[in-house]
């Protein structure tokens, strides 16, 4: 059975909502796509936090022929406070603040940020030394960021 892009995206949103709710954080999806997928409210924060969710169903060959990798594209018109990058296969979620996205992205062509994570630790680092392997993003995993972001 194959899933449509909309179904994959919705699965990611639901996973993020589930994980937030397990930490006592309420969230609601928006009905239209305006660059924000969820509005999350924590009683420990003075205001709601907006979240855009980007989802991969499974890693795919890097560059079309390389080792398995996760990647997400984000328009640089950042409207959300937080980006939740989801790998449904593992399942893992990384939380990245909008202010961090540019420095973490490996590319920024034509008004879009490209965040890339190899799933194979043996891949050699890029010349620019930016994080490349999913393990390098450990500090951004949901469990390591939820308290910092949502109180």
- At 71-111, the pLDDT tens digits run 999 998 989 999 999 999 999 999 999 999 999 998 888 89
Quote the tokens at residue 121.
Answer: 């630790």
What's the chain's length in residues?
Answer: 151
Please give the C-alpha separations between residue 82 and each of 88, 101, 124, 149, in angstroms, as whole numbers: 18, 9, 29, 9
At 94 the three-state DSSP class reads: strand
How many Å apart are CA 77 and CA 75, to the nearest integer?
A: 5
How many Å apart are CA 63 and CA 127, to the nearest integer?
A: 17
pLDDT at 127 over 70: no
CATH topology for 5-150 is: Trna Endonuclease; Chain: A, domain 1 (3.40.1350)
User: What is the pLDDT at residue 126?
Assistant: 54
User: What is the pLDDT at residue 64?
Assistant: 77
- What phi and psi values does residue 116 have, to the nearest 5 degrees? -130, 135
Residues 6+ apart with CB under 8 A from 74: 52, 54, 83, 101, 105, 112, 113, 115
Quote the tokens at residue 31.
Answer: 């009905």
pTM greater than 0.85 (yes/no): yes
């Amino acid at each position: 059975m194959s899933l449509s892009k909309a179904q994959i995206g919705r699965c990611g949103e639901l996973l993020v909502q589930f994980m937030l709710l397990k930490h006592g954080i309420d969230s609601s999806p928006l009905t239209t796509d305006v660059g924000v997928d969820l509005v999350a409210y924590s009683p420990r924060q003075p205001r709601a936090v907006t979240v855009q969710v980007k989802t991969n169903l499974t890693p795919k060959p890097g560059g079309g022929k390389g080792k398995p990798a996760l990647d997400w594209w984000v328009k640089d018109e950042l409207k959300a406070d937080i980006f939740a990058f989801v790998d449904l296969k593992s399942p893992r979620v990384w939380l990245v603040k909008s202010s961090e996205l540019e420095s973490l992205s490996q590319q920024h062509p034509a008004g879009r940020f490209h965040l890339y994570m190899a799933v194979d630790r043996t891949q050699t680092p890029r010349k620019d030394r930016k994080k490349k392997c999913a393990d390098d993003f450990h500090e951004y995993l949901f469990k390591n960021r939820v308290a910092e972001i949502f109180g």
